[in-house]
Amino acid sequence: MSGIFFFKQKTAYELLRSLVGSEMCIRDSLAAVYAMVNSERLQLVPQKDAAITATNMLVGVDAEGALRLVNGQVQFAGVQPTLADGSRPFGDIQGRVHLDEGVVQIDEITGAGRAVRGSVRPDLKRAGASVDLEADLTLSPGVVAAFMKDNTRVKGLSGHMAFKRIAGTFEQGKPPPADLKLDGALQKAQATLVPGKLQETLTGTSARFAASGMPA
């Protein structure tokens, strides 16, 4: 048996009350964007001035009785990606998304030095998501800390990375997926690489890169 509820205009508080007991909520959908990052290293932390506005929300009940978001529009602001040591090198993020039968369509997520667009299909039972995104990212030491377990091997990172496409089925804390697809460009990158006892300095490096699939 299934049912559908329609919320013409809800405050964030009213909407979240409506979703108590459900595995799916706005924050879970936003966190799915970061599914490729180990959750032990990076968390999404709402700030005191955080705001969520949800309109035209259509909420359904699946065969197991759990609520699921079907359609609607969401705007949010005042969320900070926070590293395990409490540092917040990325600043606030804000954005606009809309929901389409369980798929989170990202109209825009922006912050200092980053922008993301595309689609995310969350899989909360597996703590992951299927994504198909475009992204622009300003490189910094904070990026290294968030995305690399051993961040001592890359020092003084700067530059810009533009992804035409990042696609694949990611799970938190697991290696890059076998269906990974990448297409992007590295622009004016600078860094000191320390793979072992030796080190190499990159200055003003620009390159195109692409990948399709990862070795098993």
| pLDDT score at 69 | 67
CA 130 and chain centroid, separation = 11
Query: In the chain, what is the straight-line distance between the N-terminal and C-terminal CA atoms, in Å?
Result: 41
Residue 153 is given by DSSP the state S
| pLDDT score at 29 | 52
- Classified as helix, coil or strand, 207 is strand
- Interatomic CA distance for residues 96 and 107, integer angstroms: 5
CA 35 and chain centroid, separation = 6
| pLDDT score at 216 | 55
| pLDDT score at 199 | 78
pTM as predicted: 0.71
Taking residue 143's Cβ as centre, other Cβ atoms within 10 Å add up to 20
| pLDDT score at 2 | 38
Radius of gyration of the chain (CA): 19
**Tens of pLDDT, residue by residue, the chain (216 residues):** 334 444 444 444 444 444 433 334 455 555 555 544 445 667 777 788 888 887 887 777 667 766 666 788 888 888 888 877 777 877 788 999 898 887 889 999 998 888 999 998 887 677 778 899 999 999 888 777 776 666 677 888 899 999 999 999 888 777 778 899 999 999 998 988 887 777 788 888 899 988 887 655
What would the two tokens of residue 135 be? 């992204």
| pLDDT score at 165 | 95
Burial class (CB in 10 A: 0-12, 13-18, 19+), 36: buried
- Interatomic CA distance for residues 169 and 159, integer angstroms: 27
